[in-house]
Structure formats: C-alpha cells, structure tokens
Amino acid sequence: MSKPRPKSFGNLIVEVIRTGRCTFCGACVAACPEDVLELQTEAPTIKGKCTVCQTCYFSCPQTSLDLETVERKVFGRKRKEEEKLGIMLEACFARTLDPEISTVGQDGGAVTAILENIIQEKSASCAVVSTCDRDLPWKPFPNVATDRESIVLGAGTKYTPSPTLIGLVKAAQDFKGKQVAVVGTPCQVKAIRKIQTSSEISSEIIPEDLLTVGLFCMESYSYESLIGEFLPSKAVDPTEVTKFAIKKGRFLVYSNGEERINVPLKEVKTHVRKACHSCRDFTAELADLSVGSVDAPPGWSTLVLRNQKALDAVQDAEKSGRLEVRKIPNPKETLRVTQRLSERKNQQPEKNSS
Ligand SMILES: Cc1cc2nc3c(=O)[nH]c(=O)nc-3n(C[C@H](O)[C@H](O)[C@H](O)COP(=O)(O)OP(=O)(O)OC[C@H]3O[C@@H](n4cnc5c(N)ncnc54)[C@H](O)[C@@H]3O)c2cc1C
C-alpha cells in the first residue's frame, strides 16, 4: 500500500475552510513553524509558501481525531459507556467570593476566581483568557494574563470565537517551564489535545504544565453577523452592551444591568457559525476542568472535574478563600439538563474528514 500524501494547508482549505467548518481557534496559524499563515475574518489564510510540514493539518480540531487514543494519553483511560459527559472524577457548583469578580463574571465567576488563584499563588504562572479588542466592540482576542487586573478584564462570555491557540503558543514561549492555565471552548480544547497527542507533529508549542479549563458551549456566533448585523437590527449600539447571556432558550443583551434585547434563541440561529453545526461536544469533554451555567443555581457555575489537576485547582481556590464550593453528590441525578444537551449535541452529524 502506498504511503498517504503529506497534508498541506491546501488540504485544510479544501476540507475545512471552504466547507465552512473552521472554528477560528487559531491553532494552524499559531502552530505553523514557517509563520506563513495569518488570521483573516474568522478564517486563516496563507501569505507565503507552504512547506507541507503537516503541522496546520494535524493541529486543526476539524480534522480527524482518535478519541480513545487522546483519552488514554490525557486521562490514562478511555471513557466508560455510562460516562455521558466524558471522563469525570466529580462535579460541583462553585462561585467566586470576590465581590468585583462576582460583578463581571458571567455566571458564578468560578473560572475567573480559579485563574486568579493560580496566578496569585504560583509564582510566574499565567492564564490565557479572552479579552475584548479595544477598537472592535466585543471582538474577543486571547490575552496572556499575568496579574489580577488582566484576569478580571477577561471575565464574562463573548459569544463569538476567539483564536485562543495564538495566546497559548505565545504563553508557551514566554513562560517556558511555568504553569499555564487556558480557557477555551470545546473546539479550542480539542485543538490543544490534538497538538499534545499527535504522532505526526511536535507538541513542544504547547506548555508542558498546562491546566485546560473548557467552557460548556452549544454554539458560537459569527462576529460580523451578530455584532455587525443583529445588534443594529435591534437599534442597539455594540459599544453600549455590557453583557450577553443565553438563559432558558432566550438570547439576552444588557447595558449596565438594563435588558436591551430578550428574544427566543431561534431568532439568532441564522448568526450561528456553520462550524458549530457539526460539533458534538457540549461540555468540553477533553478539558481538565469544564465549566458552564446549565443546572447551576442562579449566580453559581457548574463544574465538571475530570482529573487530579482540576481537583487541585478547585481545592486550592477554595482553601485560599476565593471560591465557594458545593459538592454534587449524585451528578447523574443533578446534572440532568447538562446530560440532555450533551446527548442532543452528540447527535449532530459529525463531518470530520480522515
Ligand atoms: C461561545 C460560548 C458559548 C457558551 N454556551 C454555553 C451554553 O450553551 N451553556 C452553558 O452552560 N454555558 C455556556 N457557555 C459558558 C458560560 O457562558 C460561562 O463561560 C461559564 O458558565 C463560566 O462562567 P463563569 O462565571 O465561571 O466564567 P467567568 O468567570 O466569567 O470567566 C469566563 C472565562 O471565559 C473566557 N471566555 C469568554 N469568552 C470566550 C470565548 N469566546 N472563547 C474562549 N474563552 C472565552 C473569559 O476570558 C474568561 O476567562 C458558553 C461560553 C462561550 C464562550
């Protein structure tokens, strides 16, 4: 049997970009050793000559992934049939005990509290968060945060994609040997795991001591479409928006606590990115720690702890007085909506190429 032809950026163009399946995670651009790729409006493009090193192709979350191999490498075992939310050691509800984080956090502010604890307690560590661009309102971009101020600035959900891998690879270069934490959507976490576990490419561009915090995610929206079209169609200026939220099937937009838009989710369906239609991962099943709002009481976040790293991060934040934690004794009973949404998303047609 002849050897398969090496994969080039051209393969990504044909299989992922032109088919509308690019998640805009930034992995290909960040990983390219020749630095010939760059980001454009929600997709990468090539500005130089591709050397067919395959790095972009095998770091892309939308090319094939051998889930069992990844789980064995990351968690030491494959998931059991009954583990519908992926591998899980335990689950809890948590919220920040910091009044400032409580104001800016999306739900319980748990993610920000845990990240702040890491950078305050572990010297020279950093966290990759997504912060809004100064010039483009609500356009998220990764920021390698090293102090409380920049962690807090990253709090809150941006419902459009952030090229998180760009920040993560920068963190690996600037913080060699130090602990790095990264927050990302399920597709971004998948890209990280692909690079860490691929036998085709080098994993050196990812920090060795890494905590991945995955966000639950049903879908994300196109920036141009949501911010550029939907908001103006409701006579809302994006610069006035202070929070977006999705609650109980409704899409909500606030300006300083005042509700400006409250519409059924189906009204924003046309703004969902095409790539999300074939994603089957709701709870970021490959993250160390996954966080969302579903099933949590108001003002709290739901946490799925998948390994010892996650247990340590949550326990440390609790011990330092930054995080309040309520254990969930029976996650199967308590996290019913999370499981239902997970199952629903898992039934979407997956269009991975091999
Ligand atoms: C696109 C998207 C869709 C989501 N959909 C759901 C859902 O359907 N159901 C659900 O329960 N939860 C969903 N979430 C997660 C939820 O909105 C909260 O992020 C989560 O509950 C954590 O809340 P928190 O208060 O602990 O986070 P916070 O303390 O506010 O911290 C949030 C962290 O997420 C980072 N972040 C924000 N936006 C992005 C982004 N676009 N890409 C990468 N990182 C980002 C921030 O930088 C920050 O570090 C979604 C998140 C995103 C980004």
| pLDDT band with cut points at 50, 70 and 90 for residue 118 | very high
The pLDDT value recorded for residue 354 is 35
Beta bridge partners of 28: none
CA distance 210 to 197: 14
| Model pLDDT for residues 89-99, shown as the tens digit of each residue | 999 999 999 99
Averaged pLDDT for residues 59-69: 95
The residue that leads in pLDDT, 194 or 347, is 194
Q: Is residue 3 part of a domain?
A: no
User: Could you say which of 21, 36, 59 is where a domain stops?
Assistant: 59
Residues 301 and 228 in one domain: no
pLDDT(126) > 60: yes
Strand partners, 180: 126, 210
Give 81's contacts (C-beta < 8 A, 6+ positions apart).
Answer: none
Q: Is residue 95 a part of any domain in this protein?
A: yes
Asked if residue 112 has its Cβ within 6 Å of ligand 1, the reply is yes
pLDDT at residue 143 greater than cutoff 70:
yes
142 lines ligand 1 (CB under 6 A): no
Residues 6+ apart with CB under 8 A from 59: 27, 28, 31, 165, 191, 194, 195, 198, 201
- Give the ligand 1 atom nearest the CA of 112: 29
DSSP output for 95-135 = EE--HHHHHHSSSS-HHHHHHHHHHHHSTT-EEEEEEE-SS
Task: Give the CATH number, domain containing residue 237.
Answer: 3.10.450.750
- Residues 97, 51, single domain; the answer is no
Say which residues have a Cβ less than 8 Å from residue 301's Cβ, sequence separation at least 6. 93, 94, 95, 107, 108, 109, 110, 111, 291, 292, 293
Do residues 233 and 242 touch, judged by C-beta distance below 8 A?
A: no
- Counting the structural domains of the chain, the total is 3
- Is 187 contained in some domain? yes
Q: Is 76 exposed, middle or buried (0-12, 13-18, 19+ CB in 10 A)?
A: exposed
Tokens representing 280 are 């089957």
| Residue whose C-alpha is closest to residue 5's, from 257, 171, 18, 14 | 14
Please indicate, yes or no, whether residues 234 and 296 belong to a single structural domain of this protein: no
Going from the Cα of 106 to the center of ligand 1, the distance in angstroms, rounded, reads 7
**Any ligand 1 atom below 6 A from CB of 190:** no
CATH number of the domain where residue 39 is located: 3.30.70.20
Name the residue range of residue 27's domain.
9-59
Q: How many residues can be counted in the chain?
A: 354
Residue 348 confidence (pLDDT): 81
CA 39 / ligand 1 centre spacing (Å): 22
CA of 157 to the centre of ligand 1 (A): 4
DSSP string, 293-307: -TTSPTT-EEEEE-S
Answer whether residue 351 is part of any domain: no
In a domain, 312, yes or no: yes
Same domain, 113 and 175: yes
pLDDT-derived band at 244 (thresholds 50, 70, 90) equals very high
Residues 216 and 293 in one domain: yes
Q: Which of 38, 181, 209 is nearest to 114 (CA)?
A: 181
Q: Which atom of ligand 1 is nearest to the CA of 158?
A: 38
Ligand 1 touching residue 23 (CB < 6 A): no
1 — pLDDT class (breaks 50, 70, 90)? low
User: What average pLDDT does the segment 233-244 reach?
Assistant: 96
Domain of 210: which CATH number?
Answer: 3.40.640
Candidate of 106, 112, 225 to mutate for ligand 1, largest count of ligand atoms within 8 Å of Cβ: 106
In a domain, 129, yes or no: yes
Buried b (16+ CB within 10 A) or exposed e, 21-42: bbbbbbbbbbbbeeebbebeeb
